[in-house]
Amino acid sequence: MGEIKVDGHVIEITHPEKIIWENHGITKIDYIHYLLDVSPYLIQHAKERLLMIWLYPNGIHGKKIEKRSLPQTAPKWVSHTFYKEKERILLNDKATLVWAANYGVIEFHVPFDTHEKPDYPLEMVFDLDPPDDNNFDLVLEVAIKLKQVLESMGVISVPRTSGSSGMQVFVPIEPNYSFEQTRKINAFIAQYFQEQMPQHVTLERVVSKRGNKLYFDYLQLWRGRTIPVVYTARAKSEPTVATPLTWEEVEAGIKPTDFTILNMKKRIQVMGDLFNPVTTKKLNQSLDDILNFIEKALL
């Protein structure tokens, strides 16, 4: 057992030597140090959003347990709020982050809105999910075309790997549009892609019915649904991370396994936090023109 002092709290780390990613010999304490390295950026994405944690008590290849409520065993100082008659975790500080990792959390997920202003997402997100791990080139192709479509509509987008098999494209927006309004835009664009690329893109949510097509997910952006926090690790064989990218990297060609907890600290040191248009330097982009365009197009 070891100790970490953070934010004035001494946190006892149980089983620090426990191996989490066997392929690289990454231990629990290695993982916690990684989280501390990326904490300034990870927390900015999660702040004031009702956290959902994914635990893997029997290892990353074992059964997943999802939790939304604050465990009764959590220290009183763990950041949380009372929401709809339940105590919910808020990932607002480093101490809460270290507590969660010691508790067994591998993945951190958040909704698109904050508990302070529910029902108004802070960003639009398009989730591009390939049919299998061998079709990432298709993800890159669709992502680049999506960037171009969004630019034609007057908005800037930020790409990132999901840390799993797909990619997500974020559009930071003014938090003054309802989920219904953002869904209208997401659905319009998704249907456009299905029409333009019918051999490669599907809107079918049932995995078994997608065939060999990329799933253009416009439904995830909704109240109560969640997305991985930026820089969170994922419970995969490789220690992959949800990693923001430049569009130049997307055009040059990358794959999700290029980005892991082993190289993320150096990447941020060299390139900075590429997610800051969504977080610390948030672009509060208007959707008024797009919504007006869609209204006219649907007449």
Could you give the domains of the chain? Answer: 2-110 (3.90.920.10), 123-297 (3.90.920.10)
Q: Is the pLDDT score of 134 beyond 90?
A: no
pTM above 0.75, yes or no: yes
Task: Determine the pLDDT at residue 164.
Answer: 95
Asked if 49 contacts 37 with a C-beta cutoff of 8 angstroms, the reply is: no
- For 40, residues 6+ apart whose C-beta sits below 8 A from its C-beta are 273
Q: How far, in Å, CA of 156 to CA of 171, rounded?
A: 6
- For 84, residues 6+ apart whose C-beta sits below 8 A from its C-beta are none
State pLDDT tens for residues 17-38: 999 999 999 999 999 999 999 9
Asked if 228 contacts 2 with a C-beta cutoff of 8 angstroms, the reply is: no
State pLDDT tens for residues 69-111: 999 999 999 999 999 999 999 999 999 999 999 999 999 999 9
pLDDT band at 299 (very low <50, low <70, confident <90, very high): low
Task: Determine the pLDDT at residue 57.
Answer: 87
